Amino acid sequence: MTKKKIVVSGIRSTGPLHVGHYFGALKSWIELQEKYECYFFVADWHALTTDFKDPSQIKTYLLDNVSDWLALGVDPKKAALFIQSSVPEHAELYLALSMITPLGWLERNPTYKDQKEALKHKDLSNLGFLGYPVLQAADIALYQGELVPVGEDQVPHLELSREIIRRFNHLYGETLVEPQPILSASPRVLGSDGRKMSNSYQNAVLLSDPEEVVTKKVMTYMTDPARKRRQDPGDPKKCPLYSLHELFTEEKTLKEVDLGCRTAKIGCVDCKKTLLQRLTPWHQSYTEKRKALNPKTVQKVLDEGQKKASAVAQKTMTEVKKALKIL
């Protein structure tokens, strides 16, 4: 039997999960857990790099997010699920890797510059935020991670992680595994106002929204502004609602919607109803499973995940300390 490859991934718990999180990350986790040995965690330390002034949200959403993972189909029998900070070796390996990471690499990181610009309202001139990719390298290397699912926008971060790990091995001998990215389909999920779906824009369809709120959000979603009147043809490519259709609607109907929109054969109200026929049952199924979960069950899942993760993490740290001659 060939050993399953190791997959590592994390999500920061900075707010409630929305449809964009599902299609951007969780859906691929649910596929990956079938084939690989998976370590999935809440990156609460990473959340602190940007939210250190008001950390209350991180704790609030931690159990809530993990409960959502379970309701959506992430399976604790197939993947170790845990909280990053519950395995202290993440912080320890981060410290070790910080010794060998040139500042220039971090300062030149395009994600760092973009994020700092995008989050101008926050004070991000802290060491933790600059060191974000070092912590991410530690997260992966701790489990000898071979594959990391990433969206297009996270590729530079992972490249940096790879370089840091390579440098460690170069300096001290082969100790850590250099991970490869698995490019996950990172669909463009647009929010109700046409911008990228995000909690910070308050334009998201939240998993926790009651059914009537989901319906209302969909029915008031922005559409192609060219369709002012029912008889005006539109372009689905310019329609934020259509970005949801692309996620939920099967090929055949999608083609009909596309043509119907371009020829003004269907109106936006019909189009939205067609979407709801697909989105609502999916959301109901999630809601049912989510309601059946209690915090105790979730805590137990996290305790077990932590145990499994810790055992591997401790082993790696022993190797790292040996390599650094501090054992």
> Is residue 43 a contact residue for ligand TRP (CB under 6 A)?
yes
Name the strand (E) or helix (H) holding 32: helix 27-32
**Residue 268 binds which entry of ligand SF4, ligand TRP, none, CB below 5-8 Å type-dependent:** ligand SF4
Output the six-digit token pair for 138: 């530690």
- In the bound complex, what is the minimum distance in angstroms from residue 216's beta carbon to ligand SF4? 15
d(CA 239, CA 300): 43
* Residue 39 contact, options ligand TRP, ligand SF4, none, Cβ 5-8 Å cut-off depending on partner type: none
- Residue range at the interface with ligand TRP (CB under 6 A); choices 5-13, 67-75, 166-174, 315-323: 5-13
Given the complex with ligand TRP, which of 8 and 301 has the nearer CB atom? 8
Q: In this complex, which beta carbon is closest to ligand TRP, that of residue 148 or of residue 189?
A: 148
Identified binder of ligand TRP from the candidate list 68, 89, 92, 139, rule CB under 6 A: 139
Token digits of residue 40 = 């999935």
Structure tokens at 255: 């083609």
Interface with ligand TRP, residue 83, by CB under 6 A: no
β-bridge partners, 41: 10, 82
Instruction: State the Cα–Cα distance between residues 286 and 72, nearest whole angstrom.
Output: 6
Phi, psi (degrees; rounded to nearest 5) at 247: -90, -35
Pairwise CA distance, residues 44 & 67, whole Å: 15
Residue nearest to ligand TRP (CB): 10
Distance CA 7, CA 145 (A): 6
Q: How far is the CB of 239 from ligand SF4 (least distance, A)?
A: 3
Q: Does 46 bind ligand TRP (CB under 6 A)?
A: yes
C-alpha to C-alpha distance for 165 and 178, rounded to whole angstroms: 6
* N- to C-terminal Cα separation, the chain: 34
Question: In terms of CB distance, is 204 or 239 closer to ligand SF4?
Answer: 239
Question: Which of ligand SF4, ligand TRP, none has residue 242 at its interface (CB below 5 to 8 Å by kind)?
Answer: ligand SF4
CB closer to ligand SF4 out of 179 and 236? 236
For residue 42, report the phi and psi dihedrals to the nearest 5 degrees: -85, 120
Token reading at 241: 């609602």
- Provide the residue count of the chain: 327
Q: Which residue, 10 or 191, is less far from ligand TRP as judged by CB?
A: 10
Distance from C-alpha of 193 to C-alpha of 225, rounded to nearest angstrom = 11
Positions touching ligand SF4 (CB under 6 A) are 223-224, 227, 234, 236, 239, 241-242, 261, 266, 268, 271-272
Q: Which of 6, 9, 37, 189 binds ligand TRP (CB under 6 A)?
A: 9
**C-alpha torsion sign, points 113, 82, 53, 89:** negative
**37 binds ligand TRP, rule: CB under 6 A:** no
Q: Nearer Cβ to ligand TRP, position 138 or 275?
A: 138
| Binding residues for ligand TRP restricted to 12-31, rule: CB under 6 A | 12
What is the C-alpha to C-alpha distance for residues 193 and 244, in angstroms, rounded to an integer?
13
Residues that bind ligand TRP (CB under 6 A): 8-12, 43, 46, 136, 139-140, 148
